[in-house]
Homo-oligomer: A and B are copies of this chain.
Amino acid sequence: MNKNKAKLKVIPLGGLEQIGMNITVFEYEEDIIVVDCGIAFPEDEMLGIDLVIPDVEYLKMNQHKVRGIVLTHGHEDHIGALPYVLKQLNVPVYGTRLTIGLVENKLREHKILNDVDRTVITPGQKIKLGCFNVEFIRTNHSIPDPVALALHTPAGTVIHTGDFKVDFTPIYGKPIDLQKFGELGKKGVLLLMADSTNAERPGFTKTESSVGRAFDDLFSNFKGKRIIVATFASNVDRVQQIIHAAGKYKRKVLVEGRSMKNVVATAIELGYIKMPKKMMITFEELDQYKDGQVVIITTGSQGEPMAALSRMAYDNHRHIQIHKDDKIIFSSKPIPGNEKSVSRVINTLFAKGAEVIFEDTHVSGHAYQEELKLIHTLVKPKYFVPIHGEYKHMKKHAELAENLGMKSDKITILSPGDVFELNNKEASKTGRINSQPIFVDGLGVGDVGSIVLRDRQKLSQDGLMTVVLTISKETRQVVAGPDIVSRGFVYVRESGDLMGEAREVVVKALDQCNNRNIRDWGKIKMAVRDALRDYLWIKTKRNPMILPVIMEV
């Protein structure tokens, strides 16, 4: 086989048409590498689901080819599914120091730390994975140590930006390595895959440093008052800036919320957050300080009901109560879908007499249009695939590339499971593989599917009614019951008539079965269910799940 004629396959298993669950397969002949391995958070209709992970059946089928998983940064939607996937497919993992540090926390929790081969890489470094030469390029994002990837393959070079922004004055580390993008572009790039999250937003993102100036202003205004800042646990640079402000204004720092404590501990240990040891205090020490001497950094910026800030707002926090003049800063923006729960927390805090501030203390970690144009212009790829975003974002990103002069036939919007094959001559979708996301619920991985969810949906709307009766094997007569138990349907104590009549409807349905000599349990159950459903619909215009159980003695 002539190597130059072979094609590179690009197969996203997630991360497109959705926010989260980023994972992409790159395959060239006998070698596969995987970029990122993230989770998605469940949609509203995925009732009871804890998180969503990608289906890696394709990788398991090709296990002998898989050379490793390469990570772009340490956010949940890029590393969160690793423990689940590594349990099915134990391959080496590569990432920068903070990324691997956060991965190790996860592997430890899942008790597989010692089974997994981890390699810390440095931006600028190159590693060889099969026929892939993987080059790590420094970028900026809302977590330190993010990288883009240049995948040098026999078919050509692919640049995968990961999540990125252009920040000329970042907090930790240096600005994105624009020179490298330019150099690679000059040499010739086959394919660019770039972050589309903010493709709808004109202009340039603000630098993370601007948030530091906003904090400085606020801390200077809020002398004598307690300050509580809610932000994303993973936003290590943000936390660092709050600590800077705290230092300047002589405040002690209390860190609250499970994920915030974990990430901050890891970041301090690895040197990504610098703070004097005696600056950090615990709940026990809190009482020793006046309100004006403290800042609390907490989770809960998305209004999550169980997060620390929500528990403070709703008086469910064991150690911290909201004080009348507390200044509460939301250093975050609601993720789509969370607007309402965030509003609810804000209203509750206001009603307690606290002041809530939610302006100027957040910047996005994803490139806006002008930054995207910059990357496109530096890289000048032959082909372009927008990634990371809903369909509307990828569509907008495709338009942006066209406006920069790219031909529309060189741009492809992919769906999860699409097999996209390309070389220097051509590029096209050539097939599909299965990529149905897998639901994690408690310890169960994949045991909740569409049938279970449909049942939960039905139960959530109108509840259920169980009808139980015992029939004699010999006489075929009902010897006990029917008993009716309902939950989530009506308040039974105030619905005696309805339940009594429902029982009569069941008895009548059973009589009719008897008269017509129906002996088949399945048919009897169906007759009971139909009769009861019709009766309840007429009486209540509700449609509870009906569960008939027949026992034989």
Given A442-B541, A443-B541, A542-B441, the answer on whether A470 and B553 have CB atoms closer than 8 Å is yes
**Count, chain A residues at interface, CB 8 A:** 66
Q: Is the CB of A391 within 8 A of B551?
A: no
- The answer to whether the Cβ of A404 comes within 8 Å of any Cβ in the partner chain is no
Q: Which residues does chain B contribute within 8 Å of A339, judged by CB atoms?
A: 336-337, 339
User: A541 to B51, alpha carbons, bound, how many Å?
Assistant: 14
- The answer to whether the Cβ of A449 comes within 8 Å of any Cβ in the partner chain is yes
Given A343-B390, A390-B343, A542-B441, the answer on whether A456 and B48 have CB atoms closer than 8 Å is no
User: A552 to B553, alpha carbons, bound, how many Å?
Assistant: 11
Given A350-B391, A495-B447, the answer on whether A460 and B456 have CB atoms closer than 8 Å is yes
- The answer to whether the Cβ of A480 comes within 8 Å of any Cβ in the partner chain is yes
User: A480 to B479, alpha carbons, bound, how many Å?
Assistant: 12
Q: Which of the 9-residue segments A174-182, A230-238, A378-386, A484-492 touches chain B?
A: A484-492
Which A417-462 residues have a C-beta within 8 angstroms of B? 441-444, 447-449, 451-453, 455-462
Q: Which residues does chain B contribute within 8 Å of A495, judged by CB atoms?
A: 447
User: A350 to B394, alpha carbons, bound, how many Å?
Assistant: 10
Q: Which of B346, B390, B470 contacts A480 (CB 8 A)?
A: B470
Which A16-66 residues have a C-beta within 8 angstroms of B? 17, 43-44, 47-48
User: A542 to B547, alpha carbons, bound, how many Å?
Assistant: 21
User: A216 to B340, alpha carbons, bound, how many Å?
Assistant: 34
User: A219 to B453, alpha carbons, bound, how many Å?
Assistant: 43
Q: Which residues does chain B contribute within 8 Å of A356, judged by CB atoms?
A: 392
Q: Which of B47, B447, B464, B479 contacts A553 (CB 8 A)?
A: B479
Q: Which residues does chain B contribute within 8 Å of A403, judged by CB atoms?
A: none
User: A32 to B317, alpha carbons, bound, how many Å?
Assistant: 43
User: A479 to B351, alpha carbons, bound, how many Å?
Assistant: 59
Q: Which residues does chain B contribute within 8 Å of A541, judged by CB atoms?
A: 442-443
Q: Which of B347, B457, B489 contacts A391 (CB 8 A)?
A: B347
Chain A: residues with CB nearer than 8 A to chain B?
A: 17, 43-44, 47-48, 336-337, 339-340, 343, 346-348, 350-351, 356, 390-392, 395, 441-444, 447-449, 451-453, 455-464, 466, 468-470, 479-481, 483, 485, 487-491, 494-495, 539-542, 545, 547, 549, 551-553
